[in-house]
Amino acid sequence: EVQLVQSGAEVKKPGESLKISCKGSGYSFTSYWIGWVRQMPGKGLEWMGIIYPGDSDTRYSPSFQGQVTISADKSISTAYLQWSSLKASDTAMYYCARHIVVVTAIPADAFDIWGQGTMVTVSS
């Protein structure tokens, strides 16, 4: 079964760092882009960025450039989303998702497989 399994919920204080994970299984992890999507409480979906685990090519949406870091460890089929200094406004559900097209240079298409989401709460 093709699936993405994300790490568990996190509760952090402002200024702390955090790295959440997304482990792929059931397919060739290095052949598909993995994207990250934010959903703030009661709000819509936001496209954050995407990584190709095969060569770690990473692209960011302008709104998230410099705010987060996306990485991947292909040896353990896992992608990551990290913050160096969390803010209360980072409180949200974060989803990882697999790009639908295999081995493509341009991650322009849909996300066909989604993780279950990781809730991040930042509060003093």
C-beta closer to another protein: residue 16 or 57: 57
Q: Which stretch binds another protein (CB under 8 A): 13-21, 24-32, 79-87, 105-113?
A: 105-113
User: Among residue numbers 31 through 60, which ones bind another protein (CB under 8 A)?
Assistant: 35, 37, 44-47, 49-50, 59-60
Query: What is the smallest separation between the CB atom of 16 and another protein, expressed in angstroms?
Result: 26
> Phi and psi at residue 104, in whole multiples of 5°?
-120, 145
Beta strand extents in 43-91 (DSSP E only): 45-52, 57-60, 69-73, 78-83
Cβ pair 32, 104 in contact under 8 A: no
Residue 8 gets which letter from DSSP?
P
Instruction: Give the binding site for another protein (CB under 8 A).
Output: 35, 37, 44-47, 49-50, 59-63, 95, 97, 100, 106-112, 114-117
